Amino acid sequence: KHQGSVAVNLGFQSIDSQSALRWGSKITRRAYKTIEIALVAFVALYAVLRWLDTFNLPADGTNYITAALNLVKTGKLFIFVNWPSYSGEPLIEPFTEYPPGLPLFLAPFIFIFREPMLATAIAHSITVLIFYTIVYLFCRSLHLNPFLRVLVLVLLTFFRTFEIIHSKFWSESLFI
């Protein structure tokens, strides 16, 4: 037997204390890992649900959606404007005021779901989940312990800057 171990007779087989400790530590690590993943998923899901609860579409966001919708329908990236027109009739203006990344990202969602608001909600929710995944993986690469990894995500969830950014459909969601 191992030095310092105690044999335990369970009636069918004997298990020494060293084996029991190794077996217990595997369960403990697995349980901690499961709890950590569940907490990370809960925090990320909470961030998505909080955004879906407010579903804020500023003017920039509606331009992105319109440009993506026009891209899906016509194959051209443009928006309708009426402010340079004295007649008040909508004019076609190429989408050059903003970078085209967000409409290009959103277009496949509009093509698949056929409903712009649903597509926008799904696309933005995915960007938030990707953001949380990247932050989580970054914290793992820094070898932070599980408690700190979850704490970082919780702090980001309630940090006012990220709350504002993730509460609106802006292009920042793709790169922040």
pTM higher than 0.75: no
The distance of Cα 9 from the centroid of its chain, to the nearest Å, equals 51
Judge contact between 166 and 54, C-beta under 8 A. no
H or E element, residue 171: none
pLDDT in tens, the chain (176 residues): 445 444 444 444 444 445 444 545 566 778 888 888 999 999 888 888 877 777 667 777 888 899 999 999 999 999 888 776 666 777 888 888 888 888 999 999 999 999 998 998 898 888 888 888 999 999 999 999 888 999 999 988 888 777 776 666 666 666 54
